[in-house]
Structure 1
Amino acid sequence: MNTKLLVGVIAACFAAPALAQSSVVIYGIADAGLMYVDNGGKDSKVKLVSGIADGSRLGFKGTEDMGGGYKAIFNLEARVEIDTGNNKTGNLSSNQGFALTRGLERLPAPLLAGVRGALQPAVNVNTSGALFDRTSMVGLVTPVGAILAGRMYTPGYEVFNNADVFESGTGGGWGGIVGGTGGLLTAGMAIRSDKSLQYRIETPNGFGAALMYGAEKSGYVGLDKRSWGGNVRYKANGWNVGLGHNHGTDQVGNRGLVTTTLGGSYETGDAKLFAGYHKQKNENSVIIRLAGEQLAPVFASLGAAGPGIARMVNAALVRNFYLDAVSYQLGAHYKIGAGRVMASVVRQDDKTASNSDATQFALGYDHNLSKRTDIYTVLAYIKNTNQGQYAIGAASASGGFTEKAGDASRGIQMGIRHRF
């Protein structure tokens, strides 16, 4: 992260005359802990991880009340990796994933290694190093809703996150096994979208809705030709439920990652019950064209054999990046004194030919030391089948892979989270 630029942003928030009548808040989360995990192979069993329960962040948000029900708002939120001070990261596991190169085993070893390297980069979260990777938004609130512009959470993900027992964090997070067997490159949910416009409305009786449209270079990795989505929500009388849909395209407009999510929670007394359903399909992943561009120099260096090998690799990528699955989640919270017990079961039902289903079990306890600080521990276990190599992850990073297809991933995480 560029420290001088960050200091300048903070100074501007307090010094710029244009913001003199605005309410500006600096906020954040510092979260880190230890993780013991068995993924097989040479992968380290003990890891110091940033953002296990919540992605660590530093944010700025502001509001100017202009009267008559109109407000100008903005939100800038930067990713912070507590363990390194950086703002980008990769898989927690060092193991190689094999699903995306199935059918290419006959390639010469150096070429196969190069293809696998291109499909498993060391950095797969915030690859561009964007300063405000988590959120970058400005908008206008009106008496009939809000209009927002920038990089924001998608409508589908809003519903998905609200239904997640582990609040999109720890080894028990619903998203841990949602997606294809290629790990984060075959994600089953578009979390944020660049270059997007969003309309939101909230009613006094608890109903809400959102519509989002993403222009060129929007979507889950900023490569979609266009994307759109919407949701409807209800939050009142103990309920927090919704229905969300996201629709993405590839770089030339073909149907890409499309998801539908239904779920939420119901709170009664000390208990909070969760349930969720998530359908995901990606027929034309944007990563296929991106990988082809990155590998083009390698194929060119092969001379006359290059075009034939390029066609073979592309055919394998089209087949291996294809995603078709349905995910289910059930779980609960139960308050005990200053803490809460959390438990969930997640099932990823893979509809592709490989039938690589996975089941994730998690049990955790979160204890509040104060209003802003808590400590937590989570036990997690993933049962993989066939080509599945899902490994336990965290809020800030994907788990990566087990040593071999079909191997289980098991571990325990312990951490501390401070909100400021």
Structure 2
Amino acid sequence: MRRSIPAFAAVLGLALTLTACGSDSDGGTAETTAPAGGEETTAPALTGTLTMWVDETRIDVMKPIVEQFQTETGVKVDLVQKVSGDIRTDFVSQVPTGEGPDVIIGAHDWTGEFVNNGVVAPIQLGDKAEEFSTSAVQAFTYDGQIYGAPYAIENIALVRNNAILPETKATTFDELVAEGKAAGKTYSVLIQQGDQGDAYHLYPLQTSFDAPIFTQDADGSYTSELGLGGENGDKFATYLQKLGQEKVLDPALGGDQVKEAFLAGESPYIVTGPWYTTEFTNAGLDISVLPVPSAGGSEAKPFVGVQGAFISAKSKNPVLANEFVTNFLTTEAVQTELYKAGGRLPALKTAAAKVDDPVLAGFNEAGATGAPMPSIPEMGAMWQFWGTTQVQIIGGQATDPAGAWNTMVTNMQGAIDSAS
């Protein structure tokens, strides 16, 4: 079902070398006989207790996985449920005191805060990193190192009501709008906005203009350099104005409004995530999930959110923590069980490929090369500038879209500079 313990010895080479001279009541007891004549050495017995924190939104998903780990290894796991509003801050405050857990389950966009506070240790996925979707690994990459083992991903995509349009021929977003209008419904395509704007749901269109919120290094790490300015940003801002003038985008349509409109059959298309598609299928709609077509000529990349496991920098049982995070949680069997329990796409490509739910498979295709939600600390200050400017352009309050966009970029840069 998963790799044998002898294979694990190779992954933890340094740790095992250090423990080979004696015993460790927390991490196990190792054989002291040196290899001779090519004979295999014996891996350490895994003993001790592993403490893991999980919030109430993930506890039921992780319980059977932890029980399986205990059965296979004999390791006792103390699974602690924490309040979702407190788990992140408690981890940051308690790890330095030695009171935190060995492992914490959470979202990838916690990574920047955890690394900057020195509370998580990098993990070594090695060649196994290639077995995960690119966006999932990039999501946990910070300053060139990987800090979490991904197990589930989610993103938005284009959802089609097959009763209104049985097929999509459009290869660009403008062609999609034209198809939607030809269907004769109230809306050509629904993308939620609201009076505060919604940059998250517009991000696939923005990236298709090569105007990402931040630039990325070759390894996928986000820098603090803004990437949405310049000529490409100006073009996207002008395109937003066009969509607003054509009433494709409307500040009056927030999340609830677009959901209800799609349920009522008022549009053949909606850009949304799996959190709404369950309601659509439960209501009897026949839907398909497709990638968002490009508006600017480049690939439309949605934000990707990733769930995973972090190892505490102060773990009392680093060998056990590594065994769970890098060897157990990353197997196809475990990732498949997590998918069945939580309904989110596995981050492991082989597990994702076996998902037989066509809706989730569609989201997988749409987000396979998506853009991980930036986990750098600077990201938090960007949303207000971003959404406000976009909704002003869409609603017509900003008559010079490029000018408004450049002012937004200047304000974003000011927020970054003042925080550094």
- TM-score interval, normalised by the smaller of the two chains: under 0.3
Give TM-score, length-normalised by structure 2. 0.24
More strand as a share of residues: 1
Larger Rg: 2
* Bigger relative contact order (CA 8 A; separation at least 6): 2
More helix as a share of residues: 2
Give TM-score, length-normalised by structure 1. 0.24
